[in-house]
Amino acid sequence: MRMRVRRVPTASGATAVQAVASDGHDTRIIEHLGSAHSNDELMFLEAIGDQIVHQGEDSLFDAGTGKGDVLVPMSVACTYSGLLWDQLSAWWCRLGFDVNPPGVSGEFPRRGRPRVVVSLGG
């Protein structure tokens, strides 16, 4: 059974937010979270719904705290691929992949694009 958060327009013009479970044809309301009259209220109710739907799942963004405590959704103002690269390269080294195999020369870069020079023969 797949759980998700859905929006439903109400007669008063508000938007109802519900946590529902569906198995293809049948949809069952798990919990009615409330009715939103503004975009901020809608985002808040959907964040609560996401917590209910994903309860008990591990998250990549919990940073080792165990459970996500954030109730308010966050928006991304900009992205920084260097942070991702730093994490990937750190794990790459921890796993021992920073050692070059035979026939490959060059250094595993700490920043920037990965570059490897492959020697073909000789």
SS (H, E, C) 32-82: EEEEECCHHHHHHHHHHHHHHHCCCCCCHHHCCCCCCCCCCCCCCCCCCHH
User: Which pLDDT does position 77 carry in this prediction?
Assistant: 61
The model's pTM: 0.48
Q: Are 18 and 5 in contact (CB under 8 A)?
A: yes
**pLDDT, tens digit, 9 for 90 and up, residues 92-102:** 888 877 776 66
Distances (CA, A) of 76 to 16, 73, 80: 25, 10, 10
Q: What are the extents of the domains in the chain?
A: 2-62, 81-118
Question: pLDDT exceeding 90 applies to what percent of the chain?
Answer: 30
Which tokens go with 25?
Answer: 């044809």
Which helix (H) or strand (E) segment is 105 a member of? Answer: strand 104-105
